Amino acid sequence: MSEQNPPVDRVIALIREALTVEVPDPDLDLVEADLIDSLALVSLITEVETAFGVELPLEDFDIEKFRSARQIAEYVDAARVSGGAP
């Protein structure tokens, strides 16, 4: 894993800043809790790519990897290590 191991706090801050959504728990399912919808998810992907300098191709997108802040952080961390989507 990368030096930030994974960057859960950064992902939570990004969700708060980009989507104005408070994440009460890093393991909370954001979709099931109705905190984000499909449009917000697309915006979040763009914000994650910019903030972390990774490319997350939509053709390989798996919503299961974006359900919680922790899952997003782990996905981003793996993408940063591999140089692209894991």
> CA 54, CA 10: separation in Å to the nearest integer?
14
* pLDDT for position 27: 97
Q: Which CATH architecture has domain 8-82?
A: Orthogonal Bundle (1.10)
- pLDDT bracket for residue 2 (50, 70, 90): very low
> CA 52, CA 33: separation in Å to the nearest integer?
25
Average pLDDT over every residue of 20-47: 94
* pLDDT for position 40: 94
> CA 86, CA 61: separation in Å to the nearest integer?
10
Of all residues in the chain, the percent with pLDDT exceeding 90 is 58
* Range from 1-15, 28-42, 52-66 carrying the lowest mean pLDDT: 1-15
Cα end-to-end span (Å), the chain: 12
* pLDDT for position 62: 84
